[in-house]
Chains A and B, each alone.
Chain A
Amino acid sequence: MKKIHFSRSSLGIPYGIFLVLFVVFPLLIILFYAFTDGQGRFSAENFIFFFSNGKTLGTLAYSLGIAASTTAASLLLAYPAAFILAKGRFRRRPVLLMLFILPMWINFTLRMTALKEILTVIEKNLAYYPFMNTVIGMTYDFLPFMILPVYNSIAKIDDSYAEAAMDLGAKPAQVFLKVMLPLSVPGIISGVMMVFLPAMTNYVVLDMLYNSTYIMGSLIGSYFSAYDWHNGSLISMILLAIILGFSLCSREFAGQKEERTGGIRI
């Protein structure tokens, strides 16, 4: 019997080895390259340069601005849509939901080409509003990734919570603000994670919409073209730190949420 168990779980060994080799190991190498110089000696020079140079800090600030605006815009569009989809009465809800998710399966460079053509017709020259165009482009690209998790978390909310709140005298606005919105926070957080990070790094959207300002991703791209592995690794490291921070935060929030829903149940 023991042998059988061994044989089933050992099926995961190739995948485990693969993940260590091609996922964990590359990240360690990046850490190594970020803090060494051309001769392989330890050096924090790139690190100090990044955080003391106006240009690179400006890039960080600009990509945070783009990411924050994109996240806000997609949440603003996606939340009501997800809410309506989850709680409205539709005969063909799965098909309707699929329509909102489907664009994420189409190659994003081709979709961006389409958006660029439209924006060019509307604005004549894309160079006038680079920031706005970029936010529109990224929202267009990432919107489905916001709708899906928000929809899932709203769909999970039991209707009886809202009914109970109404029976206890809450107005519709209060029901939304005090019951529905707090219960959908986990979905909002995972949606934000799906949008914020790509918005900091997807420099192809900027390239295709003729926005020549750099974001964090463009820095990696330009260091890659210049064979500057050490600085490129450092930028990747900084992005990884941001991702890690986000993940820890979301876990914290999710934990609080579970407690709170538990509270409601009692």
Chain B
Amino acid sequence: MIKKILPALWLAVVLLFLYVPVCLLAVYSFTDSSMIGSIRRFSLDNYRVLFTEPELRHMIVGTLLLALAVSAISTVLGTTGAIGAFYAKRRRRLCLELMNQIPVVNAEVVTGFSVCILLIVFLKIDKTTYIPLIAGLVSLCSPFVYLSVLPRLKQMDAGIYEAALDLGCTPWQALRKVVLPQLVPGIFSGFVMSVTLTLDDYFISTYTKPTLFDTISTYVVNATKGEQTEIKTALWALSTILFLCVCIVVLGMNLLGRKEQGGQEGQGSAR
């Protein structure tokens, strides 16, 4: 009996550790209290502030636009990179693979700082142009797109490209109409991963962002240093909304993936 309960208990404890803080904060985001533990009454004030306070709205919309732009660029670069590397000669492929691995294993602080040194200090590019910020984030995200597209290429039947050529496609058509559709799941999960990486990033953004622009992370860190309770509790609402979005996206992707793979088990495709 114990042998059965103990493992389940362990999983439950780890899950509680991971979810209690976020869930409790979600519950309290629907009250008017500014501290966990002091239950008052139900209120949607936090959500009202989140959507009406101009500063917060600018920050959220700005971060989302940034995430979309960065992810679009990263997806194109990472996907073309993976296709190129897959068909390249061994030495060139290994070279690309090695360079691709650097941002993956590197600490984000170091990535951010090095991009800042090169673009802002050495090349003196103006920070207000967003170029350093986007370049830094793309260099973080595109390797993950590359890594999620490459396995798809390896799974693909090499013959179908040749078949398309035999049937009269130009190489470009064959690539676009035959190879690319097979890569879509990998490209899509790479895109989603880029969005979450950008939304999650703090270090690259702080070192390369324009002074007046804030991403969610840099905003939250600054807001928790200040003592503005209204902003602080509005961020609880933001946390709850993001939490729900992530749940929906991840579960949705999981269901789609399972349908496509015919119920195959254990595909942990994240990171």
Q: Which residues of A contact B (CB under 8 A)?
A: 4-5, 7-16, 18-20, 22-27, 29-30, 33, 77-78, 80-81, 84-86, 88, 93-111, 113-118, 120-121, 140, 143-145, 148, 151-152, 155, 193-194, 197-198, 200-204, 207-208, 217, 220-221, 224, 229, 232-233, 236, 239-240, 243, 246-247
Contact (Cβ within 8 A) A97 B14: no
Contact (Cβ within 8 A) B117 A104: no
Contact (Cβ within 8 A) A25 B146: no
| 15 contacts across the A-B interface (CB closer than 8 A) | A4-B171, A8-B84, A12-B82, A12-B84, A16-B92, A18-B81, A29-B117, A30-B110, A33-B117, A85-B11, A94-B267, A109-B224, A111-B21, A113-B235, A121-B37
Chain A residues near B258 (CB-CB < 8 A)? 94
Contact (Cβ within 8 A) A77 B114: no
Chain A residues near B243 (CB-CB < 8 A)? 106
Closest CB-CB distance, A30 to chain B, in whole Å?
5
Q: A22-B135, A23-B102, A94-B267 are in contact. Are A224 and B84 (CB under 8 A)?
A: no
Judge if B178 is at the interface, Cβ distance under 8 Å.
no
Judge if B160 is at the interface, Cβ distance under 8 Å.
no
**Bound state CA distance, A69 and B181, in angstroms?**
46
1/0 contact string of B55-90 vs chain A (CB within 8 Å): 000000000000000000000011011111101110
Q: A8-B83, A94-B258 are in contact. Are A113 and B236 (CB under 8 A)?
A: yes
Judge if B106 is at the interface, Cβ distance under 8 Å.
yes
Judge if B99 is at the interface, Cβ distance under 8 Å.
yes
**Bound state CA distance, A205 and B160, in angstroms?**
50
**Bound state CA distance, A143 and B15, in angstroms?**
11
Q: Which residues of B contact A (CB under 8 A)?
A: 7-8, 10-11, 14-15, 17-22, 24-25, 28, 35-37, 77-78, 80-85, 87-89, 92, 95-96, 99-100, 102-103, 105-110, 113-118, 121-122, 135-136, 138-139, 142, 146, 165, 171-172, 175, 196, 199-200, 202-203, 206-207, 216-217, 220-221, 224-225, 235-236, 238-239, 242-243, 246-247, 249-251, 254, 258, 265-268, 270-271
Contact (Cβ within 8 A) A15 B77: yes
Closest CB-CB distance, A125 to chain B, in whole Å?
14
Contact (Cβ within 8 A) B84 A30: no
Q: A4-B171, A236-B114, A240-B110 are in contact. Are A193 and B105 (CB under 8 A)?
A: yes
Contact of B199 among A7, A107, A246 (CB under 8 A): A107
Contact (Cβ within 8 A) A12 B85: yes
Contact (Cβ within 8 A) A110 B238: yes
Contact (Cβ within 8 A) B96 A27: no
Contact (Cβ within 8 A) A15 B81: yes
